[in-house]
Chains A and B, each alone.
Chain A
């Protein structure tokens, strides 16, 4: 069927629905579940063509008036409003029906954000779920969706939400333990999982020690941890600053194996400080 004809039929069906449908004997169900089998009864005598036209789909059947046309399972899949047009040489009858999504969820689109966040963030993790039937129609009837966030220790936070217009969403706190959390959404026996990586927050206490090493001072931090006790990841920059005689030496050192280590000039009376980002650590004065 050409596109032009389909558009014409839709136009006809939407403008002429269906004052005369019963009189002409076209019997169409009011609603049909997507993908299910259903029948359209016709009345009268002679041959006609039946068109069923909906969102992204069109079905054409040659029929004998008075017969029942069966649309088999899996033929009409897309939810939406469908027009039915029965046409013969001299007349046309129209009607319409709705195809609704199946109530049973078959797949979920699960948007978990962010994929990485610091520990202990109130409502830091959001999950949004769109529930679909087997034919990827959005199920618009309220459906219960459960969300589970499992941290690396196995502790589970659970939330339940009902879908509204096909979508359900929640916000949930990140836990105090760094690592990969498993974030699962379930609806009607279908589940979808995402991984949310919880990373340590800012260093909580930054402490360095100093030792003489030939002509240099060897500076080393204690293992750097955030305020929840998580080890700050390797690669985090720690800045050492040494001030002496109106001059200054600085070096940005990445944490390796949990500590930052550097050698700086041994200047008598020098003041040495340590910082990471906006967090300041302790300060030393080199007197040896």
Chain B
């Protein structure tokens, strides 16, 4: 009995001592992940200063990050925060910085240039923004000069819109069974191509709305073995533009991880379409599209919102073709900020390096979403 009390007392005392030690002298990495102070304390090198900055952004310590900048006099903290997250609701509004990468580009005794890659955890996955940041030495410390991108302020104006919109009246619950309902839009898969990749089979293709009404579309594919037994069924999820206006074409990509094309006998494709209310606006122009060769192959360009409406989320889908017009790949990117009227925003869609050499031409489309039900 006495031994039990002694053991319990010893364990309790040891626990109290360990808690006290952990509070007074915490492990730096644990503190950083707990959202406390930085993993690296002294910005004695450009990389350390950039890492401190990244930790502060990850911890959403906007004030601390702003105070650490060498050029903070050039802009306000609010402008700095808007530069990172956007002024209008967008895909990063509810995102947090997941991780960051620092790539030194140049260094001298008093200044340095690094490439800072910020990986934001958004509802649609990883969203990357890249900035080339200059650092300057100030005594024993290095400080960042943040390259603020100011959003242009458009003068107040009225943009007349010839508003084109489709509304739908569906059949009522009391109608006789013979009464017609609105016909689902007619859509057609105009191209389909299975590709064998290291991660599995990928189905690439294009879907056309050949009707005169808007369609909410998706595509599913079922892989069948050589004995015509189903292997797996997958949908295109967000690798498609779901809203198709009349005669509009969207690419789609369906992934089957862990499946080899050698095991596939045939593919059964099923397009789905539903008639939905929709608007023909906003119109987005995709300018200066350029295929950049490997290494770091990509499709770059600029989106320009030609309407007067703010587009909160823009999703760019690129379709890549070889010389014969065969689809080689489909890739996409969510734009990290809202598209303001007549304000170009750059995009950069990565192309797998092994495929980039086969790419001869491309076609880009934009799917847009506006908060407040404008779509």
Which chain A residues have a beta carbon within 8 Å of chain B's beta carbons?
A: 108-117, 130, 192, 194-195, 199-200, 202-203, 232-238, 246-254, 256-257, 262, 264-265, 276-278
Residue ID in chain B nearest A194 by CB atoms:
B180
> How far does the alpha carbon of A130 sit from the alpha carbon of B182 in the complex, in Å?
21
The 8 Å CB contact of A252, one of B183, B190, B365, is: B365
Contact A264 B247 (CB under 8 A): no
B365 proximity list for chain A (CB < 8 A): 252
A232-B212, A251-B285 known; 15 other A-B pairs, CB under 8 Å? Answer: A111-B178, A111-B180, A115-B182, A116-B212, A130-B178, A199-B212, A235-B166, A235-B246, A237-B245, A249-B289, A251-B283, A257-B162, A262-B285, A277-B209, A278-B208
Contact B190 A278 (CB under 8 A): yes
Chain A interface mostly helix, strand, loop or mixed? strand
B182 proximity list for chain A (CB < 8 A): 115-116
Contact B280 A110 (CB under 8 A): no
Contact A235 B280 (CB under 8 A): yes
Does B362 sit at the interface, judged by CB under 8 A? yes
Contact A254 B164 (CB under 8 A): yes
Residue ID in chain A nearest B278 by CB atoms:
A235
The 8 Å CB contact of B246, one of A113, A237, A247, A265, is: A237
B247 proximity list for chain A (CB < 8 A): 202-203, 236-238, 276-277
A-B contact pairs, 11 of them (CB 8 A): A117-B183, A236-B247, A237-B245, A237-B247, A246-B290, A247-B289, A248-B290, A249-B285, A249-B301, A265-B287, A277-B210
- B 201-216 binary contact with A (CB < 8 Å = 1; else 0): 0000000111111100
Does B248 sit at the interface, judged by CB under 8 A? yes
A232 proximity list for chain B (CB < 8 A): 212
Does B338 sit at the interface, judged by CB under 8 A? no
A249 proximity list for chain B (CB < 8 A): 285-289, 301
> How far does the alpha carbon of A264 sit from the alpha carbon of B213 in the complex, in Å?
27
B162 proximity list for chain A (CB < 8 A): 256-257
A246 proximity list for chain B (CB < 8 A): 290-291
> How far does the alpha carbon of A232 sit from the alpha carbon of B290 in the complex, in Å?
32
B301 proximity list for chain A (CB < 8 A): 247-249
Does B91 sit at the interface, judged by CB under 8 A? no
B285 proximity list for chain A (CB < 8 A): 249-251, 262, 264
Does B181 sit at the interface, judged by CB under 8 A? yes
Which chain B residues have a beta carbon within 8 Å of chain A's beta carbons?
A: 162, 164, 166, 176-178, 180-183, 190, 208-214, 245-249, 280-281, 283-291, 301, 306, 362-366
Which of A238, A250, A256 has the most chain B CB atoms closer than 10 A to its own CB?
A250
The distance from the CB of A197 to the nearest CB of chain B, in whole angstroms, is 8
Smallest CB-CB A-B distances: 10 pairs: A277-B247, A254-B280, A109-B178, A251-B285, A237-B248, A248-B289, A236-B246, A115-B180, A249-B287, A199-B212
Residue ID in chain A nearest B245 by CB atoms:
A237
Contact A254 B283 (CB under 8 A): yes
> How far does the alpha carbon of A233 sit from the alpha carbon of B248 in the complex, in Å?
14
Contact B284 A251 (CB under 8 A): yes
A110 proximity list for chain B (CB < 8 A): 178
The 8 Å CB contact of A113, one of B180, B190, B214, is: B180
Contact A235 B164 (CB under 8 A): yes
B248 proximity list for chain A (CB < 8 A): 237, 252, 277
Contact A109 B177 (CB under 8 A): yes
> How far does the alpha carbon of A192 sit from the alpha carbon of B364 in the complex, in Å?
48
Residue ID in chain B nearest A277 by CB atoms:
B247
Contact B183 A116 (CB under 8 A): yes
The distance from the CB of B110 to the nearest CB of chain A, in whole angstroms, is 38
The distance from the CB of A203 to the nearest CB of chain B, in whole angstroms, is 8
A203 proximity list for chain B (CB < 8 A): 247
> How far does the alpha carbon of A111 sit from the alpha carbon of B245 in the complex, in Å?
28
Residue ID in chain B nearest A113 by CB atoms:
B180
B213 proximity list for chain A (CB < 8 A): 116
A256 proximity list for chain B (CB < 8 A): 162, 164, 280
> How far does the alpha carbon of A232 sit from the alpha carbon of B285 in the complex, in Å?
22
> How far does the alpha carbon of A116 sit from the alpha carbon of B186 in the complex, in Å?
10
> How far does the alpha carbon of A200 sit from the alpha carbon of B246 in the complex, in Å?
12
Contact A250 B286 (CB under 8 A): yes
The distance from the CB of B346 to the nearest CB of chain A, in whole angstroms, is 13
> How far does the alpha carbon of A115 sit from the alpha carbon of B213 in the complex, in Å?
13
Contact A250 B289 (CB under 8 A): yes
